[in-house]
Amino acid sequence: MLVTRVRPNLMPLPDVIEIMPLQSPVSAVVTVPGSKSITNRALILGALSGGWATLRGALWSEDTQVMTAALRQLGFEITLAPDERELCNRTLRIRGLGGNIPNGGTAEKPLELFVGNAGTAARFLAALVCLGRGVFRLHGAERMHQRPQAALFGALRALGYRVESANDRLPADITGAGPRAGACRVDIGESSQFASALLLCAAAGRWQVQLAGESAEEGPYIAMTRQLIAAFPAGGGEFRIEPDASSASYFCAANWLMQSPTRVAVAAFPDSDWQIDAAFPRFLPLPARISRRSQLGDSIMTAIVMAPFGGGPTEFTDLARLRVQECERVAALRSELTKCGVRVMEQGDELTVFPGGGAMHGAEIETYNDHRMAMCFAIVGLKIAGIRIKNPSCVKKTFPNFFQKLGGRGPAGLGAGIVEARTARPLREEELFAD
């Protein structure tokens, strides 16, 4: 499926935008960019491969751009080409060096790698640079400096690498010593990315990695990592990255929320079992009892904001990891839904959302610089008047053209009206790109 390529806006999105409810039925087939989780894993595997690896359908957004920039600083050659199917994808070619890392710094002048607020980049690169020689300083955005790293750093130290950090968070100085046989144990309680980072580099590093924590071996993101390692062409070759199931969840939710005769479909919806969020459509209609631990990943946030439109109370369990991601997502979801007139009960790491979509009202939504908060509540705005999204440009983290999909002309977009909230000026499609 070819898509219309809309030239990105040269000016940033306004600070606050308002989503106008859809007034007539829509029939749309929307493409979504490639999976962030798969793209950043594939970039690491490509760097460790034994030749040129071609990644087709790779996401090109803030999180994958910081990963690509860091790999280039480490000395890896990477080329980019447009993707004719999706504006925010690229065909990436990376020259793997069989486990060698060309560049490194010194104790006096470490090689600095900026990871933004990308958890995958921060954790995966921390393990990768151990295979190099020299000193590497990882640092990122303020929120990334608050996110946990201790379990990963502890595992790397157990393998014999030097990791210096004031509080076992970023910024951190890591001294690479090349591959060295060893064993470590890592607890995935706070993030499965710790385990994925070690597993991606284990073969090149000659590491034995033992996982700890509830259902550690069966965790969906760990399973994804193992499947990717098995499927990736280790000697170089082509690898296709499937569309992002978490991003697809917003349009599945729009289809359910607006109901027939509106029809919103996602082109090439992921049909593998690699992404846990490919299960999202099965949880509609609500209510239900949904666990983030075993049933949904990031798309549980989409389900939470759809819950007021269900037929009864919906319980969401095992939400602890949402608290240590791009923002404290449990508190953020409760706060912003409450602003809109929704009754939400928080108890421990569980939320119960009560029905009441008919009584919901507009509000100015604080996004906490969290791309998923912005996208979740934008879908609510298709139904509820007066939903205003602060800092909409934060979607650039994983889905820079999200608002173009929402406001663009059919059949590739939903055709929703999107206006500058302060002036009510309608925004043109080319103004809706988050850059």
For residue range 235-269, list pLDDT tens digits in order: 999 999 999 999 999 999 999 999 999 999 999 99
Tell me the average pLDDT across 349-362.
Answer: 93
Tell me: do 207 and 74 sit in the same domain.
yes
Residue 298 annotated in active site: yes
Q: Has residue 98 been placed in a domain?
A: yes
- Which residue in 188, 243, 186 sits closest to 220, CA to CA? 188
Tell me the average pLDDT across 42-51.
Answer: 98
Secondary-structure percent of the chain, ordered helix, strand, coil, rounded to 5: 35, 25, 40
Output DSSP code: residue 34. B
Across the chain, mean pLDDT equals: 95
Question: CA 275 → CA 6, 42, 244, 298, distances in Å?
Answer: 29, 14, 8, 10
Please say if the pLDDT value at position 185 is more than 60: yes
Residue 214: the pLDDT is 65
Tell me: do 83 and 208 sit in the same domain.
yes
Residue 290: the pLDDT is 92
Residue 4: the pLDDT is 44
Question: 45-49, 211-215, 231-235, 398-402 — which is least confidently predicted?
Answer: 211-215
With pLDDT > 90 as the criterion, what percentage of the chain qualifies? 91
Question: Which strands, in side-by-side order, build the sheet including 133-139?
Answer: 111-114, 133-139, 172-177, 162-164
Which pLDDT band, with edges at 50, 70 and 90, does 12 fall under? confident
Q: Has residue 84 been placed in a domain?
A: yes
Contact 25, 262 (CB under 8 A): yes
Tell me: do 398 and 348 sit in the same domain.
yes
If one counts the domains in the chain, the total is 2
More confident position, 190 or 97: 97
Tell me: do 266 and 394 sit in the same domain.
yes
Q: Among 83, 187, 244, 298, which one carries the catalytic annotation?
A: 298
Please say if the pLDDT value at position 3 is more than 70: no
Residue 188: the pLDDT is 87
What is the C-alpha to C-alpha distance for residues 252 and 69, in angstroms, rounded to an integer?
33
Which pLDDT band, with edges at 50, 70 and 90, does 6 fall under? low
Residue 10 has a CB neighbour count (10 Å cut-off) of 9
Q: Has residue 5 been placed in a domain?
A: no
Tell me the average pLDDT across 270-281.
Answer: 94
* Residue 51, domain extent: 36-240
Tell me the average pLDDT across 205-231.
Answer: 88
Residue 213: the pLDDT is 81
- Final residue of a domain: which of 240, 268, 298? 240
Tell me: do 123 and 182 sit in the same domain.
yes
Tell me: do 194 and 309 sit in the same domain.
no
More confident position, 12 or 203: 203
Residue 293: the pLDDT is 80
Q: Has residue 10 been placed in a domain?
A: no
Residue 288: the pLDDT is 81
Tell me: do 233 and 283 sit in the same domain.
no
58-96 burial, b at 16+ Cβ within 10 Å, e below that, comes to bbbbbbbbbbbbbbeebbbebeeeebebbbbbbbbbbbb
Tell me: do 109 and 211 sit in the same domain.
yes
Tell me: do 180 and 271 sit in the same domain.
no
Residue 9: the pLDDT is 56
Question: 37-51, 171-185, 212-226 — which is least confidently predicted?
Answer: 212-226
Residue 7: the pLDDT is 56
Q: Has residue 4 been placed in a domain?
A: no
Residue 89: the pLDDT is 98
What is the C-alpha to C-alpha distance for residues 250 and 375, in angstroms, rounded to an integer?
7
Q: Has residue 376 been placed in a domain?
A: yes
pLDDT in tens, 105-160: 999 999 999 999 999 999 999 999 999 999 999 999 999 999 999 999 999 999 99
Tell me: do 188 and 254 sit in the same domain.
no
Tell me: do 223 and 257 sit in the same domain.
no
| Type and span of the H or E element at 68 | helix 62-73
Please say if the pLDDT value at position 216 is more than 70: no
220, burial (CB in 10 Å: exposed 0-12, middle 13-18, buried 19+) = buried
- CATH number where 282 lies: 3.65.10.10
Tell me: do 28 and 54 sit in the same domain.
no
Residue 325: the pLDDT is 94
Tell me the average pLDDT across 18-35.
Answer: 97
Which pLDDT band, with edges at 50, 70 and 90, does 218 fall under? low
- Final residue of a domain: which of 240, 262, 290? 240
Q: Has residue 1 been placed in a domain?
A: no
- Final residue of a domain: which of 191, 209, 240? 240
Q: Has residue 2 been placed in a domain?
A: no
